[in-house]
Amino acid sequence: MDKRGELRNKLEGTKAFVLDMDGTIYLGDRLFEETVPFLEKIRETGRDFYFFTNNSSRNKEAYIAKLHNMGIDISPAQMMISNEVIIKWLLENRRGERAFVVGTEYLVNDFLQAGIEIDEENPDYVVLGFDTSLTYEKISKACGFIRDGAPVFGVNADWNCPVEGGFIPDCGSIAALVKASTGVQCEFFGKPSRHTLDYITGHLGLKQSEIAIVGDRLYTDIAVAAGSEVLSVLVMSGETTHDMLRESEIVPDIVVRDIGELGEYL
């Protein structure tokens, strides 16, 4: 069978696509020209699409607004963010406990809106987010609580976040600083954690085999589907180079140039 036929077969049972954002549907503030036709193709073929971002420096509303400004209107249910994954888990497993959050105002507000109490003096646990408002005081306090025995949870494992002209340190790097100081490695919740896979299947109400996850980063977007029946699709329009792919132990089910090519197989 040729590549086209093979990929068509693999995608036949896919009822919903979960799309990464940066490097997958846009780069920074530039929407890829393939994005809107691809989303239309998904709809035309009777499928659904959702977005999932690991970026815990923002919130769901900020992403819905960003998409709106790019001409893409979605319902709140179509936008998923790592913040929701950790908050859902905390509500189920740490209900009534108080958090110290190393995070932006967006992340802190998501916690408050979910009814989780913030405690700056005597918290039950510490949460590390992609805190672009990080201060030495905040990180020192967090390390102190952890040294005193508070468990620590990380929202997303990314080392860096792509920005125009390069990268800035993300939550994984902040967690590495905390580990260097305290010796404690946090547990992460966004992609590629099992928490996220469970969150996505629950949110979509579909079987794993009916879901395809599309993204440009091997260790998050593709790794989240590893060991599951979820189909992983790597797009080469973001950070992964052909050399990185060749050397990677994480192997995507499908590799395409960009979502435009993926649309040809639907």
Give the residues lining the site for Mg ion (CB under 5 A): 20, 22-23, 216-217
What is the rounded CA–CA span in Å between residue 262 and residue 229?
19
Supply the minimum distance, in Å, between the C-beta of residue 20 and Mg ion: 4
Which residue, 20 or 170, is less far from Mg ion as judged by CB?
20
Residue nearest to Mg ion (CB): 23
CB 185 within 8 A of CB 199: no
Supply the minimum distance, in Å, between the C-beta of residue 100 and Mg ion: 29
Supply the minimum distance, in Å, between the C-beta of residue 216 and Mg ion: 5
Q: What is the DSSP string of 25-92?
A: TEETTEE-TTHHHHHHHHHHTT-EEEEEE--TTS-HHHHHHHHHHTT----GGGEEEHHHHHHHHHHH
Supply the minimum distance, in Å, between the C-beta of residue 263 and Mg ion: 18
Which residue, 34 or 216, is less far from Mg ion as judged by CB?
216
Which residue, 14 or 240, is less far from Mg ion as judged by CB?
240
What is the rounded CA–CA span in Å between residue 228 and residue 219?
15
Which residue, 26 or 145, is less far from Mg ion as judged by CB?
26
Supply the minimum distance, in Å, between the C-beta of residue 264 and Mg ion: 21
Q: How many CA atoms lie within 13 A of 47 on its CB side?
A: 21
Which residue, 170 or 216, is less far from Mg ion as judged by CB?
216
Q: Identify the CA nearest to 244 among candidates 218, 221, 226, 223.
A: 218
